[in-house]
Amino acid sequence: MDNNRNRRENRNEGENIESRAHRRPENIYNNSGSQTRQPRTEQQQQRQQTRQTDNDRQYTYVPADSGRRQTSSMTVKRDVSSVSIPEDRKLERKINREIKESRKEESWQQDIVRVKGSPDLLLLVVCIILLALGAVTIYSAGYPVAISDGYDGFYHLRKHLMWIGVGMVPLLAAYIMKPEFYKKWAPIALYALGAVLLVIAFIKGTSSEDSTSRWLILFGGKISVQPSEIMKAAVPMMIGWYVDKNPSDFYDQEHTKLQKFLITLKPVLIVLVACGLIILGKHLSGTIIVAIIGIATLIVAGYKIRWLIPAILPISVIAGLIYFLTHQYAWSRVTTFFSGSASSMDEKYQTMQSVYAIGSGGLLGKGIGQSQVKYGFLPKAHTDFIFSVWCEELGFVGAVAVVILFMVLVWRGYRIAMRAPDKFMSLTAFGITTHIGLQAFLNMFVATDLIANTGIPLPFFTYGGSSMVILMGEIGILLGISRRSYRKKADIEREELMRKAKMEL
C-alpha cells in the first residue's frame, strides 16, 4: 500500500509540474520563434461581449416634447459595432435621460386635462382697464392739439374710439376661430401682407419726419398704415408655424457644426427678412423691436444661443453700420443721449420736457386734465409721450399703477403660453406677450430718459390706428388660446366638491 501511495503522489506531482510549465514565459513561443495567439485579457473579453450584446439590443426611444403634447414611442435599433465604448455609453445615457423625461411628461399628462372653457378673465379685465385709462388720457392730451389744429376737443378721442371699434373685428375673429384652423394659413398670410405693404411703403410711402417712408397713405390721405406693426405680430406667429411644422428640425448628436448652423439659419431668415424690410423704411425702433421679439421666440423654441449668434450677429452689425453711416440723424440721436453739451440739450428738448412733466406730477399728480406740458410745451404729447402726461396728472401712484397693470398682463400672457396645447400656440402667445410688454416698457424708458429718444408707442394709450388694430387682434389671439389651456384634475375635483357642498347647504 505504501508503494501504491508513492506512485500516486509522484503522478500528481508530475501533472502539477506539467500544468505549471504551460504558464511559463518560455512556452509562449515555439522553437521556430513564431508567435502564437495570446489568451484574451479580461478587458478584451468584456469589450467583445458588450459589442455582441449591443448588436442585438433594441432601444425604446421616447422623445420628450416641451410643448406639452402627448408623446409617442418609436423603436430605434442602432448598430454600435463600429462605435467605441465611450460613445456607446454616452448614447445610452442620452437615451435613458430622454426616457426619464418622457415618463415625467406622461405622468404630468395624467395629472392634467385639456379643457375648453372661458377665457383668461384677469387678462380681459386688465386689457379693459388699460383701454379705459388710455381713452381718458387721449382726451386730456389730445384736447389742446385738436383745438390748435381747428378741430373740436373730442376729435382725437372720437378717432381713438373708432380704431378700438375697428380692432374689435380681428379680436372677435381671433377669439372665435380655433387656433388649429387659422394656424394653417394665418402666419403666412399675415407675414406676406406685411412684407408687401413694407415694399409698397418703401416705394410710395411718406412721412413728415426725417424723410422716412414708414407710413403707407391710403384713400387720399384719410388713412395712414404703418406696415411694421403687422410684422410685430407676424414674426412670432411665423416662427411658431415653422417650429410646429418641422418638429424634427433640431440639433442632434450626429449633426456637424455646419448642419447645426444651417438648422438655426432657416428660422433666423424669417426674422432677418422682416427686419431688412422694416429698416428700408428707416424705422430703426421698429426694427429693433421685431429683432428682439424674433430672437426671444427662437430661444424659447429651443434654438441654441451659440448658433443664433453667428447666424444673426454678422449681418446685424454690417446692416447697423451701414444704416448709421448713411443716416446721420439716427446717429445724432445716439450721441445726443450720451452728451451733456448745451447744443445737445436743445436737441433733447422733447425728452427734457417729458422728464419735467413726470417730476412735476409728484406723488398724487395734478389731477386729470390738469397737465401743463400738453399746451405746446411737449411735442407729440398724445402719441409717443402720452405716458408723461399721465404721470403729470396722476403722479407717482398713477405711474406705478400702470406699470403693475402691464406686469400683470405680461404674467398672464406668459402663463397662457406655458399652458398652450402645442408649439404654435405656445410660441405665438409668447411672442405677442413679449411684443406688448417690451414696447410698453421701452416707451416708459424713453419718456424717463433712460434710453435714446425714438418713436415707440405705448400699447392701449398712444393715439394711432395701426398699432391699436394690431394690438386688439393680438389680445384676441391670447384670449382664444387661453380657452384651450389645461387644468389640473385635482383643481377640477376640488371645485366640484365645493359646488356640491354649497348645494347641500
Give the H/E segment covering residue 486: strand 486-488
215 in a structural domain:
yes
Q: Is the pLDDT of residue 46 over 80?
A: no
Instruction: Please indicate, yes or no, whether residues 201 and 260 belong to a single structural domain of this protein.
Output: yes
Angle at 125 between CA 187 and CA 155, to 5 degrees: 80
Confidence at residue 332, expressed as pLDDT on a 0 to 100 scale: 77
Q: Please indicate, yes or no, if residue 51 is contained in any of the structural domains.
A: no
Beta-strand relationship, 486-488 and 112-114: antiparallel
Question: Are 317 and 221 part of one and the same domain?
Answer: yes
**What would the pLDDT profile of 320-344 be if each residue is shown by its tens digit?**
888 888 877 777 777 777 766 544 5
Same domain, 130 and 160: yes
Residue 457 and residue 348 share a domain: yes
Last residue of a domain, one of 47, 69, 99: 99
Q: Tens digit of pLDDT for each residue in 68-92?
A: 444 333 444 444 444 455 667 767 7
242-276 pLDDT, tens digit per residue, is: 998 887 666 666 677 788 888 888 899 999 999 99
Instruction: Judge if 278 and 133 occupy the same domain.
Output: yes
Residues of the domain holding 168: 120-489
**Do residues 60 and 73 lie in contact, with contact meaning Cβ atoms separated by under 8 Å?**
yes
Q: Are residues 309 and 407 in the same domain?
A: yes
d(CA 140, CA 392): 11
Residue 204 lies in a domain: yes
Does 333 lie in the same domain as 303?
yes
Same domain, 77 and 133: no
| CA 6 remoteness from chain centre | 92
The answer on 465 and 394 residing in a single domain is: yes
Task: Confirm if 484 and 425 have CB atoms less than 8 A apart.
Answer: yes
- 126's grid cell: 386688465
Question: CA dihedral in degrees (433, 364, 447, 414; nearest 10)?
Answer: -10
Q: What is the DSSP letter of 215?
A: B
Any domain includes 81: yes
Q: For residue 216, what are the β-bridge partners? A: 225
In a domain, residue 308? The reply is yes
Q: Are residues 73 and 182 in the same domain?
A: no
Same domain for 227 and 343, yes or no, is yes
Q: Are residues 439 and 351 part of one domain?
A: yes
Q: What is the pLDDT, as a whole number, of residue 300? A: 92
21 in any annotated domain: no
Cell numbers at 376, concatenated: 405746446
Total structural domains in the chain?
2
Is residue 8 assigned to a domain? no
Residues contacting 271, CB < 8 A, separation 6+: 235, 239, 290, 291, 294, 295, 298, 312
Q: What is the pLDDT of residue 452?
A: 83
